[in-house]
Amino acid sequence: MKAWRIILALAGLLLGAFGIFRLLTEIPPGSLIKLGIWLLAALIIHDVVISPAVVGAGWTLRRRVPDRGRRYLQAALIIVVVVTVIALPMIALRGSQPPVKALLLRDYAANLALLIGLIAAVTAVAYAVRVVRDRHHRSTSEDRTD
C-alpha cells in the first residue's frame, strides 16, 4: 500500500475520532439522542424511499426513453430529487420561527421551482450540445468515407 493512502486513512480515522470525542464531550445527551434519531430517519428515508424511487425511475426510463437522452434525464432527475429533499424541510418550516431567524423567512418553494427550472434548462442545453456533436461527428465520418 502506498504511503499517501496510509497517511490519508490515518488522517480520516483521527478526524473521525476527534469528531466523536467532540460530540460526546460537548453535546448534551438529549441532543445526541435527537441527532441519532435524525440520522436513523435519514438512513431509512434514503434506503426505503429515495433509492427505490431512483431505481424505479431508471427502470421505467430505460423502457421508454432512448439511450442518449436517458442519461441526461436520469442525471437531472437525481439532482432534482436531492435538491427537493434538501428544500422540503425548509418549505415545511417556513413561518414557524420568529423573524430573528431570517433563514426560515425566505420563499423556499419559489427558490426550489427556480432551481428545478435551471436544472431542466442546463440538462436540455447539455443534451442539445450532445445531439449537435453527434450529428457533426456523423457528418464528418460520412465525408471521410466518400
pLDDT, position 35: 87
Contact residues for 79 (Cβ-Cβ < 8 A; gap 6+): 119
Q: Which long-range contacts (CB under 8 A, 24 or more apart) does 106-112 make?
A: 111/87, 112/83, 112/84, 112/87
Low-confidence ranges of the chain (pLDDT < 70): 1, 99, 101-104, 141-146
Contact 131, 137 (CB under 8 A): no
Cell numbers 438529549 correspond to 30
pLDDT for 142 equals: 65
**Confidence (pLDDT) at 104:** 64
Q: Can you spell out the DSSP letters for 86-125?
A: HHHHHHHHTTSS-TTSGGGGS-HHHHHHHHHHHHHHHHHH
Task: Retrieve residue 137's grid coordinates.
Answer: 461527428
**Residue 54 to residue 77: CA distance in whole angstroms:** 8
Contact 115, 79 (CB under 8 A): no
